[in-house]
Every structure is written in structure tokens, then in C-alpha cells.
Amino acid sequence: MAKRTIVPIGPYHPLLEEPEFFKLYCDGEIVKEVVWETGYNHRGIEKICESKTFEQVFYVVERVCGICSTSHPFAYANAVESIPGVEIPLRAKYIRSIVGELERVHSHLLWVGLAGHFLGYNTVFMWAWKYREPVLDMFEIITGNRNSYAMFTIGGVRRDIDNDKISQLKKVLDFLKTKLDLLVGAVMDDPVIHARLRGVGVLTAEDIHDFGAVGPTARASGVAIDVRQDDPYAAYDMVDWKVITAPEGDVFAKAEVRLLEMYESIKIMEQCLEGLRKDSSNEIRTKVKEIPAGIGIGHAEAPRGEVFHFVKSDGSNRPVRHKIRAPSFTCIPTFRKSCVGGTIADAAIATAAVDPCYCCTERMAQAYDIHTGRQIFSMKDLIGMSQRKTEELKK
Amino acid sequence: MGKEIFYFLIFPGLLFSAVIGGFLSWVDRKITARVQFRKGPPLLQPLYDFLKLLLKETIIPVRGSVFTFLVSPVLALFGATISAVFILLPLFHIETGFAGDLIVVIYLLNIPSLTYIIGAAASGNPLASVGASREMKMILSYEVPLLLVIVSVIIKAGMTISLTEIIAAQAAGGAFIGSISGVIAFLVAIFCIQAKLALVPFDIPEAEGEICDGVAIEYSGSSLALIKLTKYIMLFIVPSFVVLLLLGGFSFKGIDILWSVLKLLVIILLLTLIRNTNPRVKIDQAMKFFWIWMNLLAVIAVVLSILGL
């Protein structure tokens, strides 16, 4: 076997906003194998959630990811509300969908910018992020925050969108559409981008099923999975929209899916705003007295794919167990397929193409005492603890 | 002897070309910023960058070869400066060069790239070695069309390999870009210097998002400052070389000063615009681009100049 060089991407690398380590085993410029190391970022979110009340957990899970900071509350709300079987008011459904779709637009614009940056196309980076600004401003109008919106609560939402804001939002959406046309034209018609992204990091529909990849990664390979369509929540079954897919499975298809999805998001938001205007009630929240004992499962379509939350309640005011699965968890392993066989340049953009969110996915493996450097818990101890706890819960 | 040292260190060598190069890099950054809806850096930013780096700690990689690693930025700066002297002396009509200085300049302009390769290889970093191999491939790609452009210039200038005589030929018969072959040669030259200066879409050896600045990854502190300085000088020298070859050189008589400055700025503007409207290509695509399309165009330029067009 020829001698292979290990080209490191990470733990600190301009390609990754987060600490994560990919070892590319290269033969010249060709990547032969990819090995990744995780565990640079443990935050113990699931554990923290167990010490908070059901209402407080919203503000914890929204910090799982700074970019999809509504998907996690969304999935968590679906999970918690499924325990007592609460039906939320119509108005809250619309508002939830609007916030969810706004987040999708801002996240996809962010991705387009970053992808441009990774390709050395900084103009696209700056332009995409410039047009992301009005979206963030809209968040500020609706929720009071540009990020981490604190909008959701059990049984509904915390703030209403009144008619005044509706017309304001519509204006911004119209502006955004013209700017999107410009950006989409610049990206889709550029021959150099075509040359750079076509046929790179190809994932077939079969690979998607094998790895269980979700979201735009799957849709770009022609697999039309979308939680919003497959298991509609909030207002998604009340509005007209379609799932965007592309058959090619390469990086360009992923970019295409994301760009076209933004138009769908705007379409959904426009219909939701119309629905809000027609709805005369101003009830935005169903009162939920208590969460009975039981388990709740909720999922939501984050910009990156399906977010999954599992909540177990014992009838007290705190979750006994809260399990979160971020979409990157299933998307990151696809690198084994998409990066191998390409060059280093291909690998860089192929890893970025699934829009990975490492810190959301990271889970704890070991614990050390910070002062003595002594190991407190090993992976085995932790698994043992977890199993013992599960046993206790089963009793 | 004193005069040569003055030429090398002050004018038109190190100090002068570094100052102008720093200014041009500011122009480049400012235009880039305006294209991207940003404000851009202040005028003295290149100087601040250089001084800041100069005062920072220089970290030497443990597994590298220390002497080669540290000496190659110095050699790069030396190569850039001495080619600045050889190009600018005839260009500014200070002194006529010696016969065959064109050939020397072609060699000297390659020194920075070659020393980057040596330095990168000496650093012992795998990303730097990827960068070095890419830099080598890039030299192999752009050097041939650039040489063909120079061949066509030599033919147009009446088979002379002296920079002074090339300028004189253009002063007498008009700048070479005024002909069909000249336009084609200029086009090829622009892409070649884009690659030589490692600007997007040909910044493959430095690809920030892939191999974190590649060849320069292990450099820090004053040695990185020297690399920056070399880049400033190259940003001035290489476009000036094209001005000399194809745009009729500089002139300092009255209003012509403005015209001369404009020539240089137009080339910088072209480079900046290309760099801001394209993503980075892959190394194999870049090689194909130069070996097939640029070589083809360059050969056409040579044939046309033989025919006198």
C-alpha cells in the first residue's frame, strides 16, 4: 500500500466554525479515507434540561444551536404537548410556522454565504449575509431578539403578531424575494460554480437510506423526506407548499435545494400572515395546567433536517429524561461516502455541503477532574450510570 | 557600489516598491470591500499589518528544518526586490538595463514562488506540503503561457531581449496592446499574473477554506511579515512588468504621469474584479485552463505577431 499522508481538517480550521477533527487520509490530492474525531465540545444540555421546569427547558434547548434556535423549541414543544395531548390555538400555529420558516430562510442564507466563503467566493459570502440582515430584523420585530427568540411556550407562543407587524413583514418579504432572485441567479448561472460543484460529493438515494441522512442532504439526492410534509405540525398542513428535491445528489444540488426552499418558505410565510390577518381571535396560548406522567416524542424540520426530541415526564414539573437528536448526527457520517475518492478541495466543500452543526450533535464521552487531571468517569462508567438510571425508571 | 545599494534598498528597490505595493494592496482591499458592501480598511492598514506582524512572536515548528524554514522568506523578499530593481530601472528611465535582462527578470520573478515551496516543505506541516505541491503545479501551469506571451512581445519588439529596447520599440511604434495579437497576449498575461499573485480563482496554493493558507500556514511573526512584504512588492512589480511588456511602459512627462498611474491601476482593478467575481477553481481545472486554453491563445498571439498583426 502506498504511503498516505494525513491531511487534518480541524480541530481548529477556517472551514469549521466549531471544533471538530477530520483526518483525511490522502494519496497525493486524492482522499482515500475519512476518519473523524468528536468530543471537543461537551455542554451537558440534556442533563441541564432535567434540572429545569418544562417551561424553562425552552430557553435551554434554543441554545443547543445558535442557528436553528427555533427548531429545537419547536420539536420540544411538539414532544411536551404530545404528553397531555394539547391542541394549540390556530393563531399560535401560524405564528410558530412563521418563526420556523423565517429561521429556515436565515439559516439557508447563512449557508449560501459560508459555502461561498469556503469556495473563496467572498462576494457571495458578503452579499448573502447582507440580505440575511432584513430577516434578522424581522425576527427582532416579531420576537424582540435577533437570535434565540424565546418565542415558544407550552400550549402556544408568547407574543402575538398584530396587523401592524403583518404589513411590515410583508414588505420585507417582497424585498427579500427580489434580492433572492439576484442571489439565486448569481449562484445558479455561474459557470465556474458549476465546474466546481457539479459531480462533487455525490450521495445516491441508496446512500441516504443507508446513512439515514435527513433534510436538504436527503432531498438533494431525490429522497423527498420532510417532517413538515410527512408528519405535519403547526400550520404546515393548512398552507400550500411543496417539497423541493433535486435528483443529482452532488453539492450543487444541495445548494439548489436550499436556494429554492427559501422561496417555498416565503410562500408559507405569506399564507400564514394572510391567515393571521383573517383570524379575528387573539388567543395565542392554551393554558396547560400540568404535564402528566408519560413519554412525549416530537420532531420538527430544522433547516438542516429532522430534529428529534424525546421527553419523559413522571408527573412532576420537570422532565425526567430529555433526549435530543440533531440532524447533523445522521448527516455527518455521509462524509465517508461523499469525501472519499475526491480531492481535498472537493472534500472541503462536500463536508460543508450538509451544513453540519457539530456542537449540536456532540455528546459526552469522558469526564476529568480539571485540577488533578484524574479521570472521574470513563465512557464505560457513564454508560453504566445511564443503564442503572434507566433500570430505576422502569420500576 | 553606493549607487547599487541605494537602488536596491531605497529606490526603486525595497522601500519604494514596498510602499507602492502596500498602497496597491490597499486599493485592492478597498475595491473588494466596496464590491462586497463593506467599508474597507484605512489607507495605512497594510503598514499596520506589517508592523504588527513584525512585533509578534515567531513560532518555529518543532519538526521543521529551522534554517531553511527561516531563510526562505528572506530569499523570497530578496528575489522580489531584485526583480523590482531590474524591472523598474528601465521602466522609470533611470538606467538602461543590460542586454538580456528580460531573461533574468523572468527567472527572478519565479524566486518568491520557489522559496515558498522550499519554506513550506521545510515546515513539516502536511497542509503546507499540500500547498507546496499545488504551488509547484501552478508554476508549471502559468509559466508556459506567460513565456509564450513574452515570446510574442520579443517578436513584436524586433527580436530584442532587452527591457529598454522593448520600451523604446513601443515608444516609437505605439504600445503593443494596440494590435490584435497584443490584445490576446494581454488577456493571457492578466490570467497568468492572477495565478502568479495567487489571487482567486487561482489562490489554490493558499486556499484558506481548504488548507488554511497552505504554504504560509506555519509562518508567524516577522517571517510572515516578510512574506506579506514580498506579496506587496509582487503586487506592484508583476503588473508593472505587464505594463512594460504590453502597455508601453511608464512616462513622466507632464500629463503622462497620470496616464502611467492609470495603466497600473487599471490592471489592479481587473485583477480585483476577477478575484471578486469567481470562486476558487480546483488544481486540475486550473491546469487544464492554462495548458489548453491559455496556451492556445498564447500560441495564436505568437503566430499573429509573427504575421505582424
Q: How far apart are CA B213 and CA B286, in angstroms?
A: 18
User: Would you place residue A367 in the very low, low, confident or very high pLDDT band (cuts 50, 70, 90)?
Assistant: low
Type of residue at B181:
S
| List of residues 6+ apart from A363 with CB closer than 8 A | A42
Substitution target from B282, B285, B292 for chain A, most A beta carbons within 10 A: B282
Nearest CA in chain B to A29: B130
Q: Measure in Å the smallest separation between the Cα of B44 and chain A Cα atoms.
A: 23
pTM given for the model = 0.84
Residue ranges in chain B whose pLDDT is less than 70? none
| B208 at interface of A, judged by CB pairs closer than 8 A | yes
Residues present in chain A in total: 395
The per-residue pLDDT for B145 is: 92
Helix (H, G, I), strand (E, B) or coil at A43: coil
| Position A1 pLDDT exceeds 50 | no
Q: How far is CA A9 from the centre of its chain?
A: 22
Domain boundaries, chain A: 45-327
CA distance B149 to B184: 9
Q: Are strands A156-157 and A294-302 parallel, antiparallel or unpaired?
A: unpaired
- Is the peptide bond between B201 and the residue preceding it cis, with omega within 30 degrees of 0? yes
Please report residues of B whose CB lies closer than 8 A to that of A6: 126
**Regarding predicted confidence, which is higher, B173 or A90?**
A90
Q: What is the CATH number of domain A45-327?
A: 1.10.645.10
Do residue A119 and residue B126 have CB atoms under 8 angstroms apart?
no
Sign of the Cα torsion B216, B220, B224, B226 reads negative
CB distance B132 to B216 below 8 Å: no
Q: Cβ contacts of residue A4 below 8 Å, gap of 6+?
A: A25, A26, A27, A32, A33
pLDDT value, residue B230: 92
Q: What is the pLDDT of residue A2?
A: 56
pLDDT, residue A333, reads 84
- pLDDT tens profile A11-21: 777 777 777 78
**DSSP-assigned letter for residue A214:** -
Tell me the C-alpha distance between A144 and A167, whole Å. 17
A120 close contact with B: CB closer than 8 A: yes
- Whether A359 shows a pLDDT value over 80: the answer reads no
Q: Say if the Cβ atoms of A348 and B209 lie within 8 Å.
A: yes
Closest C-alpha among A108, A332, A101, A67 to residue A211: A332
Residue in A123, A126, A195 closest to B281 by CB = A195
Do B192 and B294 meet the contact criterion of CB atoms below 8 Å apart? yes
CA angle A68, A286, A53 (to 5 degrees): 60
Q: Is the minimum CB–CB distance between B226 and chain A shorter than 8 Å?
A: no
Reference A92, options A16, A12, A183, A161; nearest CA is A161
**Chain centroid, CA A125 distance in Å:** 20
Q: What is the chain A residue with the closest CA to B128?
A: A7
In terms of CA atoms, which chain A residue is nearest residue B282? A345
What are the tens digits of pLDDT across the range A122-150? 888 888 898 888 888 888 888 888 888 88
**A198 at interface of B, judged by CB pairs closer than 8 A:** no
**ipTM of predicted complex:** 0.82
Local structure of residue A285 (DSSP, 8 states): B
For residue A103, give the DSSP letter. H
DSSP string for chain B? -HHHHHHHHTSSSHHHHHHHHHHHHHHHHHHHHHHTT-----TTHHHHHHHHHHHSPPP--TTS-HHHHHHHHHHHHHHHHHHHHHHHHHHTTSS---TTHHHHHHHHTTHHHHHHHHHHHHHT-HHHHHHHHHHHHHHHHHHHHHHHHHHHHHHHTTS---HHHHHHHHHHH--GGGSHHHHHHHHHHHHHHHHHTT-TTS-TTT-HHHHTTGGGTT--HHHHHHHHHHHHHHHHHHHHHHHHHHS-----STTHHHHHHHHHHHHHHHHHHHHHS-PPPPHHHHHHIIIIIIHHHHHHHHHHHHTT-
Q: One-letter amino acid identity for A171? A: K
Of the ranges A55-64, A259-268, A359-368, the best mean pLDDT one: A259-268
| Residues 89-148 in B contacting A (C-alpha not used; CB under 8 Å) | 126-127, 129-130, 133-134
Q: Does residue A235 or residue A1 have the better pLDDT?
A: A235
What percent of chain A has a predicted confidence (pLDDT) above 70? 95
pLDDT in tens, A257-288: 999 999 999 999 989 888 888 888 888 888 88
